[in-house]
Amino acid sequence: MSLRGKTWWCDFATPSGKRIRQSLGTRDETQARELYDKLKAERWRVDRLGERPSYSWDEACVRFIQEKSSKKSLEDDKAKIRYFTKFFRGRVLGSIKRDEVQDAVAKLEGRTDATKNRYLTLASTLFRLAANEWEWIDKPLSFRKKKEPSRRVRWLTKPEADRLLAELAPHMKAIVQFALATGFRHANITGLEWSQVDLVQKMCWIYGDQAKAGEAIGMPLNQTAMQVLISQLGKHPKWVFTYRGDRLRQRAREGFANALRRAGITNFRFHDLRHTWASWLVQSGVPLHVIQELGGWHSFEMVKRYAHLAPEHLRRHIEAIDAQNLNGTISSHPHRIDEENRKKKKALL
């Protein structure tokens, strides 16, 4: 047993010769020693008696957090784990039943069905790892999730966008204009560095570790984006968007919310500027697969939600029915249809 940084680790060989080396997940030497002795005893029973060791909920959570340390949403996962731990602290992992997890989620007050489903997804992932990869339990738990309604894509019309921009302070107006011009997320804009911008080539990029999908995004800069960037030159040697000489942080959200209220715009978040960017592109006839590449969406399904905004590309296909004379009731020429309708109206007068 050794101390690495501030955390105790174990390092021992099982009776069969397999080396066990892992974090004990605690800074307390007494707790670490107890867990170390428990692990050695369990591994002996596994090797000599063929028993499956009993792991606790707490041990499963520690291992989950260790293995998911690079996950972008790890802090959200930790919050969910803390909630479940109120119910399952010290419990043997294999003794926890599906209905118990469902009941714990049902006790989440004031949360939507979508949020409750996210908790169930976390629990499902943990139990699946414990069963299929760690071999700590016999089989994973599956959960009944509530059906989530399809959410409407919220985007701004051009007049709404103009009203919003008119209400924003100069430092906020710059990032909103840049969001509408590039579709970048809030974190990518406020964290944008000059090293990610090439004004000569009119390019900007987001590194893979900054992108939600984990893949780098290269964005050709249009005139609006270029004008915004040029207006930021000389304000800071590192950060593109600043406020009073420092990097723009969470205060961006506060100023944005206040401007929305003054502009009379409701049910709108900063992230909906990304939806607005995509919606405007679709309405301008930009193909969905191009928008997917520009926006860095991992799945085409994420982009299809904007397809209904520009049905014109389907018109030439649906008009093919005009060429069919169905039982003589439909003329093969649109102008004949109009003439027939005029005659019918005249006869009724």
Q: Please indicate whether residue 274 is annotated as part of the active site.
A: yes
306 is catalytic: yes
**What length is written for the chain?**
349
Residue pLDDT, tens place only, 8-45 = 888 888 777 778 777 777 788 888 888 888 878 877 77
User: What is the per-residue pLDDT across 102-161, written as a single tens digit (0 to 9) for each?
Assistant: 999 999 988 888 899 999 999 999 999 999 998 889 899 989 888 876 666 788 999 999
185 is catalytic: yes
pTM: 0.57
- What's the CA gap between 212 and 221, in Å, rounded? 20
- Single out the catalytic residue among 40, 111, 171, 212: 212
Q: Can you tell me which residue has the tokens 């996950």?
A: 71
pLDDT 10s digits, 203-213: 999 887 777 76
Cβ atoms < 10 Å from Cβ of 316: 8
Check 80, 173, 186, 274 and give the catalytic one. Answer: 274
80 vs 122: CA distance, rounded Å: 8
* Mean pLDDT in residue range 313-332: 56
Q: Is 33 a catalytic residue?
A: no
CA distance 291 to 300: 10
**Pick from 184, 207, 209: which is nearest to 195 by CA?**
207
Contact in structure between 136 and 93 (CB atoms under 8 Å): yes
- pLDDT of 224: 94
- Which of 59-73, 94-108, 163-177, 329-343 is least confident? 329-343
How many C-beta neighbours within 10 Å does residue 20 have? 14
Collect all residues with Cβ–Cβ distance below 8 Å to 321 and sequence separation of at least 6.
330
- CA 249 – CA 191 distance, rounded (Å): 8
Verify whether residue 261 is a known catalytic residue: no
In degrees and rounded to multiples of 5, residue 97 shows phi and psi of -100, 160
**CA-wise closest residue to 220 among 196, 242, 204:** 204
- Count of CB atoms situated within 10 Å of the CB of 147: 6
For the question of residue 55 being annotated catalytic, the response is: no
Residue 230 CB burial class (10 angstroms; 0-12, 13-18, ≥19): exposed
Active-site option among 43, 116, 173, 185 = 185
State the alpha helices, DSSP H only, in the chain. Answer: 29-49, 57-67, 74-88, 98-106, 113-128, 158-167, 170-182, 186-190, 223-232, 251-263, 272-283, 288-295, 301-304, 315-318, 334-348
